[in-house]
């Protein structure tokens, strides 16, 4: 399966210690919801020790705010990047469906980008 980076945007200052209890509860169940759609949350800034991913150019990004999905990154926004994680999914559409389930999609926004895959070595 392909891997996709998901950038999580929140209103500033995006203090992770100030997340509402209902937001934390939704985050806890998020990996199971991703599995129901055929994907898997692999790790990211929510999971210490998972670092070092490279994103494709932002021209391949999908931005989600509420029910609206559009091509391109979330730019010129009052939101700040608060976290990131990586999902594996069978296709970009499934990655977007998984990202739409994240609680930040309703309160802030999320952005989906394919991860760079180096060509196979010979």
* Residue 25 belongs to domain with CATH number: 3.30.70
Asked if residue 42 is part of any domain, the answer here is yes
Asked if residue 94 is part of any domain, the answer here is yes
Task: Residue 113: name the closest of 72, 77, 83, 68 by CA.
Answer: 72
Asked if residue 113 is part of any domain, the answer here is no
Q: Report the run of H or E that residue 105 belongs to, with start and end.
A: helix 104-107
Asked if residue 82 is part of any domain, the answer here is yes
Cis peptide bond prior to 85, omega within 30° of 0: no
The answer to whether the CB of 87 falls within 8 A of the CB of 81 is no
Asked if residue 115 is part of any domain, the answer here is no
Asked if residue 116 is part of any domain, the answer here is no
Tens-level pLDDT at each residue, the chain (122 residues): 899 999 888 887 777 778 889 988 888 899 999 999 999 999 776 654 444 444 555 667 788 888 889 887 766 677 777 888 999 999 999 999 999 999 989 888 999 999 988 888 76
Residue 95: its pLDDT value, please?
97
Q: Model pTM greater than 0.85?
A: no
Range of the domain at 70: 2-108
Residue 53: its pLDDT value, please?
47
The structural domain count of the chain equals 1
Asked if residue 120 is part of any domain, the answer here is no
User: Using CA atoms, how far apart are residues 56 and 41, in angstroms rounded to an integer?
Assistant: 19
Asked if residue 98 is part of any domain, the answer here is yes
Report the length, in residues, of the chain: 122
Number of other CB atoms surrounding residue 18 within 10 Å? 9
């Amino acid at each position: 399966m392909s891997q996709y980076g998901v950038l999580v945007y929140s209103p500033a200052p995006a203090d992770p210690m100030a997340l509402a209890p209902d937001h934390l509860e939704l985050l806890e169940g998020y990996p199971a919801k991703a599995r129901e759609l055929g994907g898997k949350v692999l790790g990211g800034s929510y999971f210490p020790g998972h670092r070092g991913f490279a994103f494709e150019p932002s021209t391949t990004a999908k931005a989600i705010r509420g029910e609206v999905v559009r091509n391109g990154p979330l730019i010129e926004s009052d939101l700040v990047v608060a976290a990131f994680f990586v999902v594996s999914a069978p296709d970009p559409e499934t990655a977007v469906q998984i990202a739409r389930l994240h609680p930040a999609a309703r309160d802030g926004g999320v952005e989906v980008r394919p991860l760079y895959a180096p060509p196979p070595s010979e």
